[in-house]
Amino acid sequence: MAGNNPPSDQEPWPQLWRYPAIYGSSGLLALLAILLGVYVNPLLGLATAGLAALSGLTVHRLDRQLRAAQQEKYCVDEQLLQSQKLAAVGELAAGLAHEINNPLAIIRQEAEWLLFLCRQSDPLDMTEAITGLRQILKQVDRSREITANLLNFARRQKPVAQALNLNRLVGDMVRLVAKEAEQRHIQIVTDLAPDLPSLSSDAPLLRQVVLNLLNNALQAIGREGTITIRTQVLGADQIGLEIRDTGCGIPKEHLPRIFDPFFTTKPSGQGTGLGLSICHGIIERLGGAITVASEVGQGSTFTIKLPITLTHQEI
């Protein structure tokens, strides 16, 4: 939908270049009308001239209707995009509610139990009380982590630029997932540009991105397949990082929302749907861009472009 530019407002004049053959034949008819009028019969000339005008006008009107229809389609597309966004917000809220409700339920259980203990037993069973309070603290921590992750989207810690070797960073993260990949008969192929310059960027943030994308690729494949991770020099000030898998692929209708927070296709309880949105947020903060290309049944390719030097814009 991104490439769908609004058609220009209806122009009052016929746009001759849009239908050269038709307007051209109208022109030829007009020429014929003059010739006929002058050399054969003025009446015949007049009739032909009328025909020429009629054909020209008809085409012009059809063209205007076509453009009006295009305009309408564009509006509908816009509305669709808006409603998709609203749906994403709804899903975000639902995801958040679900994630927070679980610890809340446990906290409530424990609090009620403690209240019961306080009222019933004298003296209070301290070990029991302490166990309950510990559980409550644990659940509060769990909730706080969810909100902290969410806040990462809004209030973002400033990246720290340091010299780093991306090939090495990629190698480290591949090593981390290698065992799990092996167990699932997934081959990881690395294709690392030997002439890749040293980057000035935020290493821990990039590790997070690479690890998340590798994990996604593993999950998309499930068992048996190949993950290819590639680095390349894209120009004097840009490098590329590509992670390709031979997994299940992403349905076309999910692609526009794949980087939305809490958007997930995994069953509830498996993954919060934050992984890709975190990656997206990080890459943007690092001045880069992340895109995805995917085909169901064929696999997905995530492509990242990163500046060689992180310039500190105000974030």
Partner 1 sequence: METFRILIVDDEDDFREAIMKRLRARKVEVAGANSGLQALEMLDNQDFDVVVLDVKMPGMDGIETLRAIKQKKPLVEVIMLTGHASVESGIQGMQLGAFDYVMKPVALDDLMDKLRQAYERRMLQLEYGRQNL
Residue number with CB closer to partner 1 (192 or 211): 211
Residue number with CB closer to partner 1 (84 or 200): 200
Residue 301 Cβ vs partner 1, minimum distance, rounded to whole Å: 20
Residue number with CB closer to partner 1 (80 or 148): 148
151 contact partners, CB below 8 Å, separation of at least 6:
none
Residue 222 Cβ vs partner 1, minimum distance, rounded to whole Å: 14
Among 314, 139, 305, smallest CA distance to 238 is for 305
Residue 207 Cβ vs partner 1, minimum distance, rounded to whole Å: 5
Which parts of this chain interact with partner 1 (CB under 8 A)?
Answer: 141, 145, 149, 158, 160-162, 164, 172, 175-180, 203-204, 207-208, 211-212, 214-215, 218, 275, 278
Interhelix angle 20-35/42-120, rounded to 10 degrees, is 160
Token pair of 57 as six digits? 């006008």
**Distances 16 to 54, 58, 175, 299 between C-alpha atoms, Å:** 15, 13, 62, 45
Q: Which residue has the tokens 């995805």?
A: 292
**Distances 272 to 32, 105, 173, 263, 276 between C-alpha atoms, Å:** 73, 18, 21, 8, 10
Residue 197 Cβ vs partner 1, minimum distance, rounded to whole Å: 17
Residue number with CB closer to partner 1 (71 or 208): 208
Residue number with CB closer to partner 1 (107 or 218): 218
Residue 268 Cβ vs partner 1, minimum distance, rounded to whole Å: 17
Residue 12 Cβ vs partner 1, minimum distance, rounded to whole Å: 58
Residue number with CB closer to partner 1 (15 or 162): 162
Residue 154 Cβ vs partner 1, minimum distance, rounded to whole Å: 16
Residue number with CB closer to partner 1 (22 or 306): 306
Residue 306 Cβ vs partner 1, minimum distance, rounded to whole Å: 17
Residue 240 Cβ vs partner 1, minimum distance, rounded to whole Å: 22
Residue number with CB closer to partner 1 (135 or 212): 212
Residue number with CB closer to partner 1 (45 or 247): 247
The C-alpha atoms of residue 100 and residue 262 are separated, in whole angstroms, by: 13
| Exposure string for 76-97, b = 16+ CB within 10 A, e = fewer | eeeeeeeeeeeebeebbeebbe
